[in-house]
Amino acid sequence: MTVLRDLLRFSPSFRTGAILLTFVLLLLILSFFSPYAPDERRVVPRNQPPSQDYILGTTALGQDVFWLLTFAVRNTLIVAGTAILIGRGIGVFLGMFSGYVGGMVDRVLSSIVDSFIVIPRLPLLILIAFILQGRMTLFDLGILIGLLDWAYPSKRYRAQILSLREREFTHTAVFAGMNPIKVILHEHLPFLIPFLLADVVSGFLFAVGLEVTLSVLGLSDLATPTIGTLIYWGNYYQALLSDRVWVLAAPIGASIVIVVGFYLVSVGLSDYLDPRTRLARLQIRG
């Protein structure tokens, strides 16, 4: 709570980002109270512009854009959350274990990580999504993104552990009989949590961007509403040519809010972890 209070007090970027993400969270919660199912069609008049009855208008298939957007935001965040759990989970454990154990194990794991880093992720992801087109669910997409986004985080956490393993408390834990896994989880992991939070936020940006990219290209599950699939279907039904810009404006606006919100929160967390800004906060408190 102290960290959150300091961030809200001293970081305007974190404050602004938190407000934007609160709005996104509100949309996600509203999806559970929608009067329509996400796959229902012709439940409202077709091609209606934004009005008091339909605040974001309706689609060519007779769907309320606002309620459709709530499902899209929820599903996009499910994809991003799945990718974060897998990618950061692998990256954190592998980086910490490699950095702490060292020796031949570290050299082998570092070689594997370096091999993954040089792989062009976006072209590979597009190729795999194209091969699996029509058979890939939201969770499959999240898992695929996560499996391609663990190498860079692993290198960062390994660098942190290389420093922590030389500290006095690490030697004390080893002398007390702790095995390497316990040392990593009980002694080192708490020090990495602030960095992990900032890394998770940046990972959300990466995952959301990939979901939108693949969906706009028609390579994801197009039957499930996400921010990317809303843009895809808006283009498919020629929303711009038929002067129905609200169909595209809603998902594009939501993607901007999500990206800017996560970016500002990431900047706020990075500034908070900077030793120079931490010293400035201590001076203000004094």
For residues 51 and 8, is the Cβ–Cβ distance under 8 A? no
Amino acid at 264: L
pLDDT of residue 255: 93
Q: What is the DSSP letter of 185?
A: I
pLDDT band at 20 (very low <50, low <70, confident <90, very high): very high
Query: What is the residue extent of each domain of the chain?
Result: 2-285
Note the pTM of the prediction, 2 decimals.
0.86
Q: Is the pLDDT of residue 281 over 70?
A: no
Cβ density class 8-40: b for 16+ within 10 Å, e for less: eebbebbebbbebbeebeebbebbeebeeebeb
253 vs 177, more confident: 253
The token duo for 118 is: 């040089």
pLDDT of residue 187: 80
**Got the DSSP string for 106-143?**
HHHHHHHHHHHHTS-HHHHHHHHHHHTTTS--HHHHHH
Helix (H) or strand (E) holding 53: none
Q: Is the pLDDT of residue 232 over 80?
A: yes
pLDDT band at 78 (very low <50, low <70, confident <90, very high): very high
Q: State percent of the chain over pLDDT 90.
A: 30
The token duo for 19 is: 């407000």
Q: Domain 2-285 has what CATH class? A: mainly alpha
Amino acid at 202: S
Residue 184 makes CB contacts below 8 A (sequence gap 6+) with 96, 97, 100, 161
Work out the end-to-end distance of the chain between its first and last CA atoms, rounded to an integer number of angstroms.
20
pLDDT band at 79 (very low <50, low <70, confident <90, very high): very high
pLDDT of residue 194: 75
pLDDT of residue 274: 61
Of the CA atoms within 13 Å of residue 69, those in its CB half-sphere come to 28
Q: Quick one: average pLDDT of 128-149?
A: 86
**Average confidence score pLDDT of the chain:** 85
The token duo for 244 is: 């129905």
Q: Quick one: average pLDDT of 48-64?
A: 91
Whole-angstrom distance, CA of residue 247 vs CA of residue 239: 7
Q: Is the pLDDT of residue 30 over 90?
A: yes
Q: Is the pLDDT of residue 10 over 70?
A: no
Instruction: State the greatest distance between any 2 C-alpha atoms of the chain, in Å, as a whole number.
Output: 73
pLDDT of residue 280: 52
